[in-house]
Structure 1
Amino acid sequence: MDAPQEARDADVSAIAALDEPTRRRLYDHVVRQSDPVSRDEAATALGLARQTAAFHLDRLADESLLDVVYERRSGRAGPGAGRPAKLYRRSAKQVAVSLPDRRYELAGRLLAQAVEESAATGEPVRTVLHRKAEELGTQLGEQDDNTGVLDLLERYGFEPRREGDAITLANCPFHALARAHTETVCGMNLHLLRGMLHGLGEETLTARLAPTPDRCCVRLDPGA
Protein backbone atom coordinates (compact mmCIF):
# COMPACT_ATOMS: atom_id res chain seq x y z
CA MET A 1 0.00 0.00 0.00
CA ASP A 2 1.35 3.49 -0.85
CA ALA A 3 2.16 6.01 1.87
CA PRO A 4 -0.70 8.48 1.17
CA GLN A 5 -3.23 5.65 1.25
CA GLU A 6 -1.72 4.29 4.47
CA ALA A 7 -1.94 7.76 6.04
CA ARG A 8 -5.54 8.13 4.90
CA ASP A 9 -6.46 4.71 6.31
CA ALA A 10 -4.80 5.64 9.61
CA ASP A 11 -6.83 8.85 9.81
CA VAL A 12 -10.06 6.97 9.13
CA SER A 13 -9.15 4.46 11.83
CA ALA A 14 -8.40 7.26 14.30
CA ILE A 15 -11.73 8.95 13.66
CA ALA A 16 -13.51 5.63 14.00
CA ALA A 17 -11.82 5.13 17.37
CA LEU A 18 -13.33 8.40 18.62
CA ASP A 19 -16.81 7.27 17.62
CA GLU A 20 -17.02 5.17 20.81
CA PRO A 21 -18.65 7.46 23.45
CA THR A 22 -16.50 6.47 26.45
CA ARG A 23 -13.32 6.72 24.41
CA ARG A 24 -14.31 10.17 23.14
CA ARG A 25 -15.04 11.35 26.72
CA LEU A 26 -11.60 10.14 27.81
CA TYR A 27 -9.90 11.84 24.88
CA ASP A 28 -11.71 15.12 25.58
CA HIS A 29 -10.78 14.88 29.27
CA VAL A 30 -7.10 14.30 28.56
CA VAL A 31 -6.76 17.16 26.08
CA ARG A 32 -8.39 19.60 28.53
CA GLN A 33 -5.70 18.97 31.14
CA SER A 34 -2.52 21.02 31.30
CA ASP A 35 -0.50 18.02 32.55
CA PRO A 36 -0.41 14.35 31.49
CA VAL A 37 -3.18 12.20 33.01
CA SER A 38 -2.89 8.81 34.69
CA ARG A 39 -5.33 5.95 34.30
CA ASP A 40 -6.52 6.39 37.88
CA GLU A 41 -7.07 10.11 37.44
CA ALA A 42 -9.03 9.61 34.24
CA ALA A 43 -11.12 6.82 35.73
CA THR A 44 -11.96 8.89 38.81
CA ALA A 45 -12.79 12.02 36.82
CA LEU A 46 -15.23 10.19 34.55
CA GLY A 47 -16.57 7.65 37.04
CA LEU A 48 -15.16 4.66 35.18
CA ALA A 49 -13.59 1.41 36.29
CA ARG A 50 -9.79 1.69 36.09
CA GLN A 51 -9.65 -1.29 33.72
CA THR A 52 -12.14 0.37 31.37
CA ALA A 53 -10.23 3.65 31.39
CA ALA A 54 -6.94 1.82 30.77
CA PHE A 55 -8.37 -0.11 27.81
CA HIS A 56 -9.70 2.99 26.05
CA LEU A 57 -6.66 5.15 26.81
CA ASP A 58 -4.39 2.51 25.33
CA ARG A 59 -6.58 2.27 22.25
CA LEU A 60 -6.28 6.04 21.79
CA ALA A 61 -2.51 5.70 22.17
CA ASP A 62 -2.46 2.88 19.59
CA GLU A 63 -4.18 5.24 17.14
CA SER A 64 -1.52 7.90 17.89
CA LEU A 65 -4.19 10.25 19.23
CA LEU A 66 -2.51 10.24 22.66
CA ASP A 67 1.15 10.06 23.59
CA VAL A 68 2.30 7.88 26.49
CA VAL A 69 4.87 9.26 28.92
CA TYR A 70 6.27 7.83 32.14
CA GLU A 71 6.86 9.98 35.21
CA ARG A 72 7.39 9.46 38.93
CA ARG A 73 4.62 11.43 40.57
CA SER A 74 6.29 11.19 43.99
CA GLY A 75 9.05 13.54 42.91
CA ARG A 76 11.63 11.11 44.28
CA ALA A 77 14.34 9.36 42.28
CA GLY A 78 16.58 6.37 42.80
CA PRO A 79 15.96 3.16 44.76
CA GLY A 80 12.65 3.11 46.58
CA ALA A 81 11.14 5.83 44.43
CA GLY A 82 8.72 3.37 42.87
CA ARG A 83 7.89 2.66 39.26
CA PRO A 84 7.13 5.59 36.94
CA ALA A 85 3.41 6.07 36.30
CA LYS A 86 2.03 5.58 32.82
CA LEU A 87 0.52 8.90 31.76
CA TYR A 88 -1.33 10.15 28.69
CA ARG A 89 -1.34 13.47 26.88
CA ARG A 90 -2.59 14.67 23.51
CA SER A 91 -0.27 13.80 20.65
CA ALA A 92 0.79 16.09 17.83
CA LYS A 93 -1.11 13.93 15.32
CA GLN A 94 -3.50 15.87 13.11
CA VAL A 95 -6.48 13.97 11.72
CA ALA A 96 -8.40 15.05 8.65
CA VAL A 97 -10.52 12.94 6.33
CA SER A 98 -12.39 14.44 3.40
CA LEU A 99 -14.69 12.72 0.96
CA PRO A 100 -14.18 13.43 -1.90
CA ASP A 101 -10.44 13.73 -1.39
CA ARG A 102 -9.15 17.26 -0.83
CA ARG A 103 -5.52 18.43 -0.67
CA TYR A 104 -5.76 21.98 0.63
CA GLU A 105 -2.54 21.67 2.64
CA LEU A 106 -0.62 20.94 -0.56
CA ALA A 107 -2.16 23.99 -2.24
CA GLY A 108 -1.43 26.12 0.80
CA ARG A 109 2.25 25.14 0.79
CA LEU A 110 2.61 25.96 -2.89
CA LEU A 111 0.86 29.31 -2.53
CA ALA A 112 2.92 30.26 0.54
CA GLN A 113 6.17 29.34 -1.22
CA ALA A 114 5.17 31.41 -4.24
CA VAL A 115 4.33 34.48 -2.14
CA GLU A 116 7.58 34.26 -0.16
CA GLU A 117 9.81 33.78 -3.21
CA SER A 118 8.02 36.54 -5.09
CA ALA A 119 8.55 38.94 -2.20
CA ALA A 120 12.24 38.03 -2.08
CA THR A 121 12.97 38.18 -5.81
CA GLY A 122 10.33 40.46 -7.30
CA GLU A 123 9.24 37.74 -9.73
CA PRO A 124 5.45 37.70 -10.29
CA VAL A 125 3.66 35.45 -7.80
CA ARG A 126 1.80 33.51 -10.46
CA THR A 127 5.01 32.78 -12.38
CA VAL A 128 6.64 31.42 -9.23
CA LEU A 129 3.51 29.42 -8.36
CA HIS A 130 3.49 27.71 -11.75
CA ARG A 131 7.17 26.82 -11.46
CA LYS A 132 6.82 25.51 -7.90
CA ALA A 133 3.77 23.45 -8.85
CA GLU A 134 5.54 21.90 -11.82
CA GLU A 135 8.63 21.13 -9.69
CA LEU A 136 6.48 19.44 -7.06
CA GLY A 137 4.58 17.46 -9.68
CA THR A 138 7.86 16.26 -11.17
CA GLN A 139 9.08 15.15 -7.73
CA LEU A 140 5.85 13.24 -7.12
CA GLY A 141 6.14 11.50 -10.48
CA GLU A 142 9.77 10.53 -9.89
CA GLN A 143 9.21 9.05 -6.43
CA ASP A 144 8.28 5.56 -7.61
CA ASP A 145 9.50 4.05 -10.88
CA ASN A 146 6.68 1.50 -10.82
CA THR A 147 3.84 4.03 -10.56
CA GLY A 148 1.62 4.52 -13.60
CA VAL A 149 -0.19 7.73 -14.43
CA LEU A 150 -3.60 6.45 -13.29
CA ASP A 151 -2.18 5.23 -9.98
CA LEU A 152 -0.48 8.56 -9.26
CA LEU A 153 -3.57 10.57 -10.13
CA GLU A 154 -5.70 8.30 -7.94
CA ARG A 155 -3.23 8.64 -5.08
CA TYR A 156 -3.56 12.41 -5.04
CA GLY A 157 -7.34 12.49 -5.27
CA PHE A 158 -8.00 13.30 -8.93
CA GLU A 159 -10.24 10.25 -9.57
CA PRO A 160 -8.99 9.63 -13.14
CA ARG A 161 -11.33 8.17 -15.76
CA ARG A 162 -10.30 6.78 -19.12
CA GLU A 163 -12.29 8.26 -22.01
CA GLY A 164 -10.85 6.72 -25.14
CA ASP A 165 -7.21 7.81 -25.31
CA ALA A 166 -7.78 10.74 -22.94
CA ILE A 167 -8.01 10.86 -19.16
CA THR A 168 -10.60 13.02 -17.45
CA LEU A 169 -10.34 13.89 -13.77
CA ALA A 170 -13.63 13.46 -11.91
CA ASN A 171 -12.46 15.21 -8.74
CA CYS A 172 -10.54 18.40 -8.02
CA PRO A 173 -8.45 18.08 -4.84
CA PHE A 174 -8.58 21.89 -4.54
CA HIS A 175 -12.32 22.23 -5.17
CA ALA A 176 -13.29 25.09 -2.83
CA LEU A 177 -10.18 27.11 -3.70
CA ALA A 178 -10.73 26.54 -7.41
CA ARG A 179 -14.30 27.81 -7.19
CA ALA A 180 -13.26 30.98 -5.37
CA HIS A 181 -9.97 31.65 -7.19
CA THR A 182 -10.41 29.79 -10.47
CA GLU A 183 -7.66 31.29 -12.61
CA THR A 184 -4.98 31.05 -9.92
CA VAL A 185 -5.77 27.55 -8.68
CA CYS A 186 -6.50 26.00 -12.07
CA GLY A 187 -3.21 27.37 -13.40
CA MET A 188 -1.41 25.86 -10.40
CA ASN A 189 -3.21 22.56 -10.98
CA LEU A 190 -2.31 22.53 -14.67
CA HIS A 191 1.39 22.92 -13.93
CA LEU A 192 1.26 20.38 -11.11
CA LEU A 193 -0.15 17.80 -13.52
CA ARG A 194 2.33 18.71 -16.23
CA GLY A 195 5.06 18.09 -13.68
CA MET A 196 3.57 14.71 -12.76
CA LEU A 197 3.59 13.63 -16.39
CA HIS A 198 7.17 14.81 -16.77
CA GLY A 199 8.28 13.03 -13.60
CA LEU A 200 6.64 9.81 -14.77
CA GLY A 201 8.29 10.10 -18.18
CA GLU A 202 4.80 10.05 -19.71
CA GLU A 203 5.18 11.44 -23.23
CA THR A 204 1.90 10.27 -24.78
CA LEU A 205 -0.32 12.61 -22.75
CA THR A 206 -0.55 16.37 -22.40
CA ALA A 207 -2.23 18.28 -19.59
CA ARG A 208 -4.60 20.96 -20.88
CA LEU A 209 -7.14 23.28 -19.31
CA ALA A 210 -10.62 22.03 -20.15
CA PRO A 211 -13.08 23.44 -17.58
CA THR A 212 -16.16 21.25 -17.21
CA PRO A 213 -18.87 21.41 -14.54
CA ASP A 214 -18.35 18.93 -11.69
CA ARG A 215 -14.86 17.91 -12.87
CA CYS A 216 -11.29 19.03 -12.49
CA CYS A 217 -10.40 21.92 -14.79
CA VAL A 218 -7.54 19.90 -16.32
CA ARG A 219 -7.81 17.08 -18.82
CA LEU A 220 -5.05 14.79 -20.08
CA ASP A 221 -5.26 14.44 -23.83
CA PRO A 222 -3.20 12.26 -26.17
CA GLY A 223 -0.32 13.85 -28.00
CA ALA A 224 2.53 16.13 -27.05
Structure 2
Amino acid sequence: MFVDDPKEVRDADVSAIAALDEPTRRRLYDHVVRQPGPVGRDEAAAALGLARQTAAFHLDRLADESLLDVVYERRSGRAGPGAGRPAKLYRRSTKQIAVSLPDRRYELAGRLLAQAVEESAATGAPVQEVLHRRAEELGTLLGGPGSGSLFDLLEQYGFEPRHEEGAIVLGNCPFHSLAREYTQTVCGMNLHLLRGVLGGLGEGGYAARLAPSPGRCCVRLEPVA
Protein backbone atom coordinates (compact mmCIF):
# COMPACT_ATOMS: atom_id res chain seq x y z
CA MET A 1 0.00 0.00 0.00
CA PHE A 2 2.96 2.32 0.41
CA VAL A 3 5.24 1.12 -2.34
CA ASP A 4 3.87 2.72 -5.51
CA ASP A 5 6.59 4.64 -7.34
CA PRO A 6 6.28 8.14 -5.78
CA LYS A 7 7.60 9.88 -8.89
CA GLU A 8 5.08 8.16 -11.14
CA VAL A 9 2.25 8.98 -8.73
CA ARG A 10 3.34 12.63 -8.46
CA ASP A 11 3.70 13.00 -12.23
CA ALA A 12 0.23 11.51 -12.77
CA ASP A 13 -1.27 13.83 -10.16
CA VAL A 14 0.37 16.90 -11.73
CA SER A 15 -0.95 15.86 -15.14
CA ALA A 16 -4.46 15.39 -13.72
CA ILE A 17 -4.53 18.78 -12.07
CA ALA A 18 -3.13 20.43 -15.19
CA ALA A 19 -6.01 18.92 -17.17
CA LEU A 20 -8.44 21.01 -15.11
CA ASP A 21 -6.84 24.22 -16.35
CA GLU A 22 -8.95 24.00 -19.52
CA PRO A 23 -12.16 25.98 -18.73
CA THR A 24 -14.68 23.69 -20.46
CA ARG A 25 -13.14 20.61 -18.91
CA ARG A 26 -13.26 22.22 -15.47
CA ARG A 27 -16.94 23.11 -15.91
CA LEU A 28 -17.73 19.54 -16.88
CA TYR A 29 -15.79 18.16 -13.93
CA ASP A 30 -17.57 20.49 -11.51
CA HIS A 31 -20.94 19.53 -13.00
CA VAL A 32 -20.34 15.79 -12.72
CA VAL A 33 -19.09 15.83 -9.13
CA ARG A 34 -22.12 17.88 -8.00
CA GLN A 35 -24.61 15.29 -9.25
CA PRO A 36 -25.99 12.58 -6.93
CA GLY A 37 -25.46 9.87 -9.55
CA PRO A 38 -23.45 9.11 -12.71
CA VAL A 39 -23.86 11.55 -15.60
CA GLY A 40 -24.16 10.75 -19.30
CA ARG A 41 -22.65 12.66 -22.20
CA ASP A 42 -25.97 13.97 -23.50
CA GLU A 43 -27.02 15.12 -20.05
CA ALA A 44 -23.72 16.93 -19.42
CA ALA A 45 -23.76 18.54 -22.87
CA ALA A 46 -27.32 19.80 -22.40
CA ALA A 47 -26.65 21.11 -18.89
CA LEU A 48 -23.66 23.19 -20.01
CA GLY A 49 -24.84 24.11 -23.50
CA LEU A 50 -22.11 22.15 -25.27
CA ALA A 51 -22.03 20.05 -28.38
CA ARG A 52 -22.23 16.35 -27.49
CA GLN A 53 -18.92 15.67 -29.24
CA THR A 54 -17.21 18.39 -27.20
CA ALA A 55 -18.62 17.08 -23.93
CA ALA A 56 -17.62 13.51 -24.84
CA PHE A 57 -14.05 14.54 -25.65
CA HIS A 58 -13.52 16.38 -22.38
CA LEU A 59 -15.28 13.77 -20.24
CA ASP A 60 -13.05 11.05 -21.70
CA ARG A 61 -9.98 13.19 -21.05
CA LEU A 62 -11.05 13.57 -17.42
CA ALA A 63 -11.49 9.81 -17.19
CA ASP A 64 -8.07 9.21 -18.78
CA GLU A 65 -6.54 11.41 -16.06
CA SER A 66 -8.37 9.40 -13.35
CA LEU A 67 -10.39 12.46 -12.35
CA LEU A 68 -13.62 10.68 -13.28
CA ASP A 69 -14.59 7.02 -13.21
CA VAL A 70 -16.54 5.44 -16.08
CA VAL A 71 -19.49 3.16 -15.43
CA TYR A 72 -21.97 1.53 -17.82
CA GLU A 73 -25.69 1.36 -17.03
CA ARG A 74 -28.92 0.77 -18.93
CA ARG A 75 -31.21 3.75 -18.45
CA SER A 76 -34.19 2.30 -20.29
CA GLY A 77 -35.36 0.46 -17.20
CA ARG A 78 -35.43 -2.76 -19.19
CA ALA A 79 -33.16 -5.80 -19.20
CA GLY A 80 -32.44 -8.63 -21.58
CA PRO A 81 -32.73 -8.69 -25.40
CA GLY A 82 -33.99 -5.42 -26.83
CA ALA A 83 -33.03 -3.41 -23.77
CA GLY A 84 -30.36 -1.55 -25.72
CA ARG A 85 -26.70 -0.99 -25.04
CA PRO A 86 -25.62 0.28 -21.63
CA ALA A 87 -24.88 4.01 -21.60
CA LYS A 88 -21.40 5.29 -20.82
CA LEU A 89 -21.64 7.37 -17.65
CA TYR A 90 -19.20 9.38 -15.55
CA ARG A 91 -18.89 9.99 -11.83
CA ARG A 92 -16.31 11.39 -9.42
CA SER A 93 -13.20 9.23 -9.26
CA THR A 94 -12.48 7.24 -6.14
CA LYS A 95 -8.82 8.17 -6.55
CA GLN A 96 -7.48 10.97 -4.37
CA ILE A 97 -5.26 13.45 -6.19
CA ALA A 98 -2.98 15.90 -4.41
CA VAL A 99 0.15 17.83 -5.28
CA SER A 100 2.30 19.73 -2.79
CA LEU A 101 5.48 21.73 -3.22
CA PRO A 102 7.76 21.03 -1.42
CA ASP A 103 6.89 17.34 -1.45
CA ARG A 104 4.89 16.19 1.57
CA ARG A 105 3.87 12.68 2.64
CA TYR A 106 1.17 13.27 5.25
CA GLU A 107 -0.88 10.24 4.22
CA LEU A 108 2.10 7.97 4.85
CA ALA A 109 2.61 9.50 8.30
CA GLY A 110 -1.11 9.32 9.06
CA ARG A 111 -1.29 5.64 8.23
CA LEU A 112 1.72 4.80 10.35
CA LEU A 113 0.32 6.75 13.29
CA ALA A 114 -3.14 5.19 12.93
CA GLN A 115 -1.65 1.68 12.74
CA ALA A 116 0.37 2.34 15.87
CA VAL A 117 -2.65 3.60 17.82
CA GLU A 118 -4.82 0.65 16.79
CA GLU A 119 -2.15 -1.97 17.50
CA SER A 120 -1.39 -0.36 20.85
CA ALA A 121 -5.07 -0.41 21.81
CA ALA A 122 -5.34 -4.07 20.79
CA THR A 123 -2.14 -5.35 22.40
CA GLY A 124 -1.37 -2.89 25.20
CA ALA A 125 2.09 -2.19 23.78
CA PRO A 126 3.25 1.44 24.14
CA VAL A 127 2.20 3.53 21.14
CA GLN A 128 5.67 4.95 20.59
CA GLU A 129 7.24 1.50 20.61
CA VAL A 130 4.74 0.24 18.04
CA LEU A 131 5.17 3.36 15.89
CA HIS A 132 8.94 2.95 15.77
CA ARG A 133 8.66 -0.71 14.85
CA ARG A 134 6.04 -0.05 12.18
CA ALA A 135 8.10 2.78 10.69
CA GLU A 136 11.22 0.64 10.54
CA GLU A 137 9.29 -2.22 8.93
CA LEU A 138 7.96 0.16 6.29
CA GLY A 139 11.43 1.57 5.66
CA THR A 140 12.75 -1.96 5.17
CA LEU A 141 9.98 -2.63 2.66
CA LEU A 142 10.71 0.58 0.77
CA GLY A 143 14.39 -0.34 0.58
CA GLY A 144 13.68 -3.85 -0.66
CA PRO A 145 14.62 -5.40 -4.02
CA GLY A 146 14.20 -3.10 -7.01
CA SER A 147 14.14 0.10 -4.98
CA GLY A 148 17.28 1.56 -6.59
CA SER A 149 20.07 3.43 -4.85
CA LEU A 150 19.80 5.13 -1.47
CA PHE A 151 20.07 8.60 -3.01
CA ASP A 152 17.40 7.83 -5.62
CA LEU A 153 15.02 6.41 -3.03
CA LEU A 154 15.39 9.46 -0.80
CA GLU A 155 14.68 11.71 -3.77
CA GLN A 156 11.59 9.70 -4.71
CA TYR A 157 10.10 10.16 -1.25
CA GLY A 158 10.72 13.91 -1.14
CA PHE A 159 13.69 14.13 1.23
CA GLU A 160 15.79 16.24 -1.20
CA PRO A 161 19.11 14.57 -0.26
CA ARG A 162 22.50 16.14 -0.88
CA HIS A 163 26.03 15.26 0.03
CA GLU A 164 27.73 17.41 2.63
CA GLU A 165 31.12 16.65 4.17
CA GLY A 166 30.72 12.91 3.68
CA ALA A 167 27.21 12.81 5.13
CA ILE A 168 23.84 12.89 3.40
CA VAL A 169 21.73 15.78 4.62
CA LEU A 170 18.02 15.91 3.85
CA GLY A 171 16.87 19.32 2.67
CA ASN A 172 13.15 18.63 3.00
CA CYS A 173 11.00 16.93 5.63
CA PRO A 174 8.06 15.11 4.01
CA PHE A 175 6.22 15.44 7.33
CA HIS A 176 7.05 19.12 7.89
CA SER A 177 3.87 20.51 9.51
CA LEU A 178 3.43 17.47 11.74
CA ALA A 179 7.08 17.58 12.78
CA ARG A 180 6.77 21.23 13.79
CA GLU A 181 3.87 20.53 16.15
CA TYR A 182 4.72 17.01 17.34
CA THR A 183 8.47 17.03 16.99
CA GLN A 184 9.44 14.15 19.26
CA THR A 185 6.81 11.77 17.88
CA VAL A 186 7.28 12.53 14.18
CA CYS A 187 11.05 12.83 14.22
CA GLY A 188 11.29 9.52 16.08
CA MET A 189 9.06 7.92 13.46
CA ASN A 190 11.17 9.41 10.68
CA LEU A 191 14.40 8.23 12.27
CA HIS A 192 13.19 4.63 12.40
CA LEU A 193 11.75 4.85 8.90
CA LEU A 194 15.16 5.82 7.53
CA ARG A 195 16.92 3.20 9.62
CA GLY A 196 14.61 0.68 7.98
CA VAL A 197 15.45 2.07 4.54
CA LEU A 198 19.17 1.62 5.21
CA GLY A 199 18.57 -1.91 6.44
CA GLY A 200 16.35 -2.81 3.49
CA LEU A 201 18.97 -1.57 1.05
CA GLY A 202 21.75 -3.35 2.92
CA GLU A 203 23.46 0.04 3.14
CA GLY A 204 26.02 -0.30 5.91
CA GLY A 205 28.01 2.80 5.00
CA TYR A 206 25.60 5.22 6.67
CA ALA A 207 23.74 5.46 9.96
CA ALA A 208 20.57 7.50 10.51
CA ARG A 209 20.86 9.91 13.42
CA LEU A 210 18.78 12.75 14.77
CA ALA A 211 20.43 16.07 13.93
CA PRO A 212 17.77 18.81 13.93
CA SER A 213 18.76 21.91 11.99
CA PRO A 214 16.71 24.86 10.65
CA GLY A 215 15.43 24.30 7.12
CA ARG A 216 16.30 20.59 7.05
CA CYS A 217 14.87 17.22 7.96
CA CYS A 218 15.57 16.23 11.57
CA VAL A 219 17.45 13.12 10.42
CA ARG A 220 20.95 13.06 8.94
CA LEU A 221 22.69 10.07 7.38
CA GLU A 222 26.22 10.04 8.67
CA PRO A 223 29.07 7.87 7.40
CA VAL A 224 29.91 4.90 9.56
CA ALA A 225 33.55 5.02 10.66
8 A contact 2:5–2:156 mirrored in 1: no
Match status 1:32 vs 2:17 = no
Deviation at 1:79, TM superposition (A): 3.2
The alpha-carbon deviation at position 91 of structure 1 amounts to: 1.6
Q: How much does 1:37 deviate? A: 0.9
> Partner of 1:177 in structure 2?
178
- In structure 2, the CA distance between the partners of 1:73 and 1:204, relative to structure 1 (3 Å rule), is same
SS at match of 2:89: strand
Q: Which residue of 2 aligns with 1:57?
A: 59
Residue 202 of structure 1 aligns to a residue whose secondary structure is: coil
Q: How many Å separate the matches in 1 of 2:71 and 2:205?
A: 54
Instruction: Tell me the CA shift for residue 46 of structure 1.
Output: 0.7
- CA–CA separation in structure 1 for the residues paired with 2:172 and 2:221: 14
Q: CA deviation at 1:156?
A: 0.8
Which letter maps to 1:130?
A: H
Q: What is the CA–CA distance in structure 2 between the aligned matches of 1:179 and 1:8, rounded to whole Å?
A: 24
Give the superposition deviation at 1:81.
2.5
For residues 195-214 of structure 1, the C-alpha deviation after alignment (integer angstroms, 9 at most, x for no partner) is: 10011000010111110000
TM-score for the superposition, normalised by structure 1: 0.95
Question: What letter is aligned with 1:167?
Answer: I
The amino acid that maps onto 1:29 is: H
**What is the rounded CA distance, in whole Å, between the counterparts of 2:89 and 2:130 in structure 1?**
47
Q: 1:142 aligns with which of 141, 144, 168?
A: 144
Q: Secondary structure at the match of 2:143?
A: helix
Give the structure 1 partner of residue 167 of structure 2.
166
1:82-134: CA deviations, max 9, x gaps? Answer: 22221111120110111111001111111111111212222211111111111
Q: Note the residue ranges of structure 2 that are not aligned, 5 or more in a row.
A: none
Q: Work out whether 1:122 is the aligned partner of 2:124.
A: yes
Q: Matches of 1:93 and 1:14 in 2, distance apart? A: 11
CA distance in 1, matches of 2:86, 2:176: 49
Relative to the length of structure 2, the TM-score reads: 0.95
Compute the RMSD of aligned alpha carbons.
Answer: 1.3
The answer for the alignment partner of 2:77 in structure 1 is 75
Per the alignment, residue 194 of structure 1 pairs with 195
Q: What one-letter code is carried by the residue in structure 2 that aligns with 1:174?
A: F
1:218 paired residue number: 219
Secondary structure of 1:102 counterpart? coil
Counterpart of 2:16 in 1: which secondary structure? helix
Q: Identify unmatched segments of 5+ residues in structure 1.
A: none
Give, in whole Å, the separation in 1 of the partners of 2:178 and 2:36.
Answer: 36
* % identical equivalent positions: 81
Distance 1:63 1:182 in 2: 37
Counterpart of 1:109?
A: 111
Distance 1:128 1:46 in 2: 53
User: Cα deviation per residue 1:173-211 (whole Å; 9 max; x = unaligned)?
Assistant: 000000000111111111110110011000010111110
* Distance in 1 separating the partners of 2:88 and 2:111: 38
Deviations 1:117-170 (A, max 9, x none): 21222221111111111111111111426x111011111110000113110000
2: CA distance, partners of 1:19 / 1:143: 39
**Residue in 1 aligned with 2:24?**
22
